[in-house]
Amino acid sequence: MILVVGATGQLGTAVIRRLMVKQLPVRAFVRQASHYQHLQDAGVELAFGDLCDPVSIERACQGVEVVIATANTTIPQGKYNFAAIEDQGYQHLIAACQRHGVKQFVFMSVAVTPFDEAVLTFRFKRRTEERLKKSGLSYTIFRGSLFMDDWFAFIGSYLPLRGAEAATIRRDFWFSKLFIKGVGNLIEKRGIALIPGPKSVRHAFIALDDVAEFIVASLGHPQAQKAIFSLGGPEILTWGEIVAHYENVLGRPVRAVYLPSGIFRFQRMLLRPFSEAASNLMGLNWIVGYDTPFEMRETAAIFGVTLTHAGEFLREKASLPGQTS
């Protein structure tokens, strides 16, 4: 049995779909208040619980051989507490996996930056990585670059949201809703892309579906045991090159407006007393001002994953029906 933690998120859902195609037994760990209907309709076994509830974690891990953990609090649903979910929650999950003899723990993490401790998502991902390394479990840690599905939307476009199932970015969190509403379709409607950080920054942007492919391909893979991999796409691109791809797809000019990283760093501190999640989102916009220039040929070959190019991703999204305003 494979337990997916973070099953109702976009990445968790994409992983579950691939596991089902392979006819592998899968159990989704979901909260009662979450949007899990699409999983239930697909016939996925549901284990109701919460990372804040050790008893429910214990129940969910019974009979499980593999745990895939993609859960995070970046864009929360309902009540949340970063430390309770991403720190103590993962600590309880790892302990339950030890007790139940889980054979592989696959953890979706983030790229390493000089300022991991300053941003909650990065801080707690690093702590979970360290716990896994000391746990005695066989772990696979994937440190992802920027997901095209999220960050191409954050710069001012509805295009990446087309055809997205269980898109995390659409969750009912007040700050992200305001952010997306404010940025909205600036690229499609006004030809403006709002870029976090300097022009020189380069990222190996990766499609979320490719991340799901890596996760599923790692199950039982001999080279994935007690191993850490950086995940990115087939190209290392600047934001200016992403804007050029938008111009090609839309057939009209798009102007990049670069927002200094310091703005997001200041907003992170300003929002901290009022909302952990809002502060964290601004922290993410600050921290993506640091490169993730991952070279992926060797890792893609190990797992047999064909990587999606940024232009290909946008062209495919543009061919789908979806929101334009």
pLDDT digits (tens, 9 = 90+) for 230-280: 999 999 999 999 999 999 999 999 999 999 999 999 999 999 999 999 999
Q: How far apart are CA 288 and CA 307, in angstroms?
A: 21
pLDDT of residue 76: 83
Mean pLDDT of 174-185: 84
Triad 97, 99, 16: Cα angle to 5°: 25
Q: How far apart are CA 149 and CA 157, in angstroms?
A: 10
pLDDT of residue 23 exceeding 60, the answer is yes
Number of Cβ atoms within 10 Å of the Cβ of 163: 12
Helix (H), strand (E) at residue 121: helix 120-135
Q: How far apart are CA 265 and CA 282, in angstroms?
A: 7
Q: Which residue has the tokens 């019974």?
A: 62
Cβ atoms 174, 281 nearer than 8 A? no
CA–CA distances in Å: residue 126 to residues 101, 236, 269: 23, 24, 21
Residue spans of the domains in the chain: they are 2-318
Q: How far apart are CA 282 and CA 263, in angstroms?
A: 9
**306-319 per-position pLDDT tens digit:** 999 999 999 999 99
Cβ atoms 145, 310 nearer than 8 A? no
Cβ atoms 142, 69 nearer than 8 A? no
pLDDT of residue 296: 97
Cβ atoms 119, 280 nearer than 8 A? yes
Q: Which residue has the tokens 């809002």?
A: 278
DSSP class of residue 85 equals I
Triad 297, 145, 188: Cα angle to 5°: 110
Tokens of residue 22, six digits: 């392979």
Say if pTM beats, i.e. exceeds, 0.85: yes
pLDDT band for position 78 (cuts 50, 70, 90): confident
pLDDT of residue 325: 46
- At a CB cut-off of 8 Å and minimum separation 6, what does 141 contact? 107, 109, 129, 132, 227, 228, 229
Q: How far apart are CA 256 and CA 262, in angstroms?
A: 18
Q: In terms of Cα–Cα distance, which of 121, 159, 140 is closest to 211?
A: 140
Question: Residue 63, by phi and psi: left (phi above 0), alpha (psi -120 to 50) or beta?
Answer: left
Find the DSSP H helices in 236-309: 239-250, 261-271, 276-287, 297-303
pLDDT band for position 161 (cuts 50, 70, 90): very high
Tokens of residue 312, six digits: 């290909």
- Least confident among 131-135, 171-175, 278-282: 171-175
DSSP class of residue 226 equals T
pLDDT band for position 63 (cuts 50, 70, 90): very high
Q: Is 139 helix (H, G, I), strand (E, B) or coil?
A: strand
Q: Is 259 helix (H, G, I), strand (E, B) or coil?
A: strand
pLDDT band for position 93 (cuts 50, 70, 90): very high
pLDDT of residue 323: 59
Cβ atoms 128, 90 nearer than 8 A? yes
Write the class of the CATH domain 2-318: alpha beta
